Amino acid sequence: MQEIGHWINGEHVAGTSGRFADVYNPATGEVQAKVALATQAEMDAAVASAAEAQKAWGATNPQRRARVMMAFVQLINRDMDKLAEKLSSEHGKTFPDAKGDVQRGLEVIEYCIGAPQMLKGEFTDSAGPGIDMYSMRQPLGVVAGITPFNFPAMIPLWKMGPALACGNAMIMKPSERDPSVPLMLAELLKEAGLPDGVLQVINGDKESVDAILDHDTIQAVGFVGSTPIAQYIYERAAQNGKRAQCFGGAKNHMIIMPDADLDQAADALVGAGYGAAGERCMAISVAVPVGEETADKLREKLVPRIEKLKVGPYTAGDDVDYGPVVTAAAKENILRLVQSGVDQGAELAVDGRDFSLQGYEDGFFVGPHLFDKVTPDMDIYKTEIFGPVLSMVRAGSYEEAIGLAISHEYGNGTAIYTRDGDTARDFANRINIGMVGINVPIPVPLAYHTFGGWKKSGFGDLNQHGPDAFKFYTRTKTVTSRWPSGIKEGGEFNFKAMD
């Protein structure tokens, strides 16, 4: 059985804890590898050498650091298929989707090539007599990234790129469910010229996360994962005086107005609701048609589209719409929530409970589900299901529909389908959600904008990537300087000398 260890000081290192987690092939249900779970002592050693390596890296000029990013881009492109293949085999998502995962991460590395521009400070000439004032952005030192299973390339890249381009050393703690791709990315960064020790990839579970949170040397923590863990990490990091940005779960609503193009809306819902088996923080999990007629027509269009979805392993080719979910436990949790929806009175318009795939009976496949007539008190509405389950909540009016999205505890993404500019504008202005789509179902901002949710979907300040990332991974120092040529002997200002 393959044992996956850590990446420390530029090489693969076996774990010493004797503790391991299983890494599955979700399509077959087989354990394909075991990943080592680091101890606090292993974390301490990795942090100590990262701190040492950071000194020279932080002092390297930004353009040289950007060149490493440039080379990294080439290498990711060179190895795109290899990365995507490994990603699919551990995560389960289809091959094109896995390439998309790598691609969206790659775009942030491309953005980081602009680090010299982003890190330029500000300068005020002659803020007073003989006085200049300037501010500079300096790296924090050693920072940490803790990432979820559902984007094992994209989210580690969102963290590594800006953190390293800003001159920090990083401890990356990937999800223990699909740990291989971050290790492959570390190898590529070494090949791109990143000095050893500047990036350490340490695999682990709660023990290594707590070691990060309590470590005095680590200055900042960037987390992405479920809301309870995001909140826990935010609070513990803050108690320990660290800068923290922690992005959590989601329940993304899409409002469908009576004037919307319903074919477009139905296609969008199927892609955004069931793509990647619903294991996306930007998946649409709630459809809110406005008016009974809209709801009936939408349901009529959705049902055949959903029934046609092809569920299968990533090896079955490009016509597979989505693959298995990540673990047996995830599958059980989804089916338990589906049952609760039935028990609490929602109408199961598409029932995927008996789904089984010949030859892959032990895989973690979940058939697609559509619930209609869901109400806000039901568990399937309140909870993030993170599976191929779409809930329709029928609203009587636009006000009722927007009210639902506003009242929900999560605030990651949302969308509205309408042909009416006034309604769309009103929605974009009033909604208390971080990322908004107008006739766009998954409004993921591009690398040069920022990504982040509101309410229980995000804790802390500043978003991921875009200009915010350069702020998060640096601190500002402002220098006020006065030089004698502007000052008379004896300390008084020589105003004439300033003429």
Active site residues per annotation: 281
The reply to whether 398 sits near ligand NAD by the rule CB under 6 A is: no
**CB count in 10 Å sphere of residue 161:** 29
Least Cβ distance, residue 373 to ligand NAD (angstroms): 25
Site residues for ligand NAD, 71-110, by CB under 6 A, read none
**Of 396, 442, 436, nearest to 288 (Cα)?**
396
Site residues for ligand NAD, 276-295, by CB under 6 A, read 281
Q: Which of 139, 141, 248, 289 binds ligand NAD (CB under 6 A)?
A: 248
Task: Provide the CA 272 distance to its chain's centre, in angstroms.
Answer: 16
Residue nearest to ligand NAD (CB): 225
Contact mark string toward ligand NAD, 164..183, x via CB under 6 A? ---------x-xx-------
Half-sphere exposure of 326 (CA within 13 A, CB side): 22
Least Cβ distance, residue 304 to ligand NAD (angstroms): 29
Question: Could you tell me if 50 and 41 are in contact, meaning their C-beta atoms sit under 8 angstroms apart?
Answer: no
Least Cβ distance, residue 455 to ligand NAD (angstroms): 11
The reply to whether 386 sits near ligand NAD by the rule CB under 6 A is: yes
The reply to whether 148 sits near ligand NAD by the rule CB under 6 A is: yes
Q: Which of 88, 94, 147, 423 binds ligand NAD (CB under 6 A)?
A: 147
Least Cβ distance, residue 35 to ligand NAD (angstroms): 10
Least Cβ distance, residue 10 to ligand NAD (angstroms): 23
Q: Which of 39, 168, 200, 412 binds ligand NAD (CB under 6 A)?
A: 412
> In the complex with ligand NAD, which residue's Cβ is closer, 305 or 471?
471
Least Cβ distance, residue 146 to ligand NAD (angstroms): 5
Cα 363-364-365 angle, rounded to 5 deg:
95
**By CB under 6 A, which span of 104-112, 123-131, 221-229, 466-474 interacts with ligand NAD?**
221-229
Total residues binding ligand NAD (CB under 6 A): 26
**By CB under 6 A, which span of 40-48, 80-88, 203-211, 466-474 interacts with ligand NAD?**
203-211
Q: Which amino acid is it at 250? A: A
The reply to whether 250 sits near ligand NAD by the rule CB under 6 A is: yes
Least Cβ distance, residue 432 to ligand NAD (angstroms): 15
Site residues for ligand NAD, 423-462, by CB under 6 A, read 453, 457
**By CB under 6 A, which span of 7-15, 205-213, 440-448, 491-499 interacts with ligand NAD?**
205-213
Residues near ligand NAD (CB under 6 A): 146-151, 173, 175-176, 205-206, 209, 224-226, 229, 247-250, 281, 384, 386, 412, 453, 457
